[in-house]
């Protein structure tokens, strides 16, 4: 009798329940920020609209499409692992991973351009604008930054899933980890779906 024997049980439903609970936590985590956004936008409506014009709608839309496609590919990878198509699963996860990285690269250039123009919390340029703009860009960096952090965690998770599928540790009768990674990825996706209009499309 070892400690391990106690814990060697597999409960697909239970593990998924745990992931859903984690998603609830994440939603309330971002929820606090959405409250701050709501309050600040209520107070500085016009300034938010003006500041929103500074953002590049094209990059925003492009990133939205990227994330939506990646959500589809990770969902397909779960279907394909159930159909015992190992190579297809690895390939689909690879595409998801690639799209996630493209998203981050876009984000890097987008942020980089803003920072170059001095649109960054604490800079003189930003302080020349009114309070509303300061709040807008504060929220923009904080919320998209936190979201990008979740994307990075997702990249790591997806990479681990690829390795596990490749090594055969995730297969048609034991794939809850992959399914949970998928749930996480959809969460990251759906948060972006809210961030995108709130920052890019309010103008």
d(CA 80, CA 82): 5
Residue 194 binds other proteins, judged by CB under 8 A: no
d(CA 31, CA 109): 27
User: Distance of alpha carbon 185 from its chain centroid, rounded?
Assistant: 7
Single out the residue of 30, 185, 192, 200 in contact with other proteins (rule: CB under 8 A): 30
What tokens appear for 147 in the block? Answer: 């979201």
Between residues 134 and 178, which has the closer beta carbon with respect to other proteins?
134
Ordered alpha helix ranges (H), 55-175 = 57-82, 86-116, 124-128, 131-166
Single out the residue of 10, 25, 46, 116 in contact with other proteins (rule: CB under 8 A): 25
Q: Which residues 139-178 are close enough to bind other proteins by CB under 8 A?
A: 139, 141-142, 146
Three-class DSSP category at 86: helix
d(CA 115, CA 128): 15
Between residues 93 and 150, which has the closer beta carbon with respect to other proteins?
150
Binding flags for other proteins, 67-106, as an x/- string (CB under 8 A): ----------------------------------------
Residue 3 binds other proteins, judged by CB under 8 A: yes
Stretch that binds other proteins, among 37-45, 56-64, 74-82, 174-182 (CB under 8 A): 37-45
């Amino acid at each position: 009798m070892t400690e391990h024997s106690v814990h060697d049980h597999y409960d697909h439903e239970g593990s998924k329940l745990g992931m859903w609970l984690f998603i609830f936590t994440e939603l309330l985590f971002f929820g606090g920020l959405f409250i701050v956004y709501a309050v600040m936008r209520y107070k500085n409506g016009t300034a938010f609209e003006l500041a929103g014009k500074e953002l590049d709608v094209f990059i925003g839309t492009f990133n939205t499409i990227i994330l939506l496609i990646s959500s589809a590919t990770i969902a397909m990878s779960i279907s394909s692992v159930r159909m015992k198509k190992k190579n297809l699963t690895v390939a689909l996860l690879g595409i998801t991973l690639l799209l996630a990285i493209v998203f981050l690269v876009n984000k890097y250039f987008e942020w980089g351009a803003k920072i170059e123009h001095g649109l960054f919390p604490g800079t003189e340029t930003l302080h020349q604008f009114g309070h509303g703009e300061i709040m807008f860009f504060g929220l923009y960096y904080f919320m998209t930054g936190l979201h990008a952090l979740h994307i990075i965690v997702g990249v790591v998770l997806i990479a681990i899933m690829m390795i596990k599928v490749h090594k055969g540790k995730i297969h048609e009768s034991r794939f809850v980890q992959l399914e949970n990674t998928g749930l996480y990825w959809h969460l990251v996706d759906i948060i972006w779906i809210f961030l995108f209009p709130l920052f890019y499309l309010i103008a």
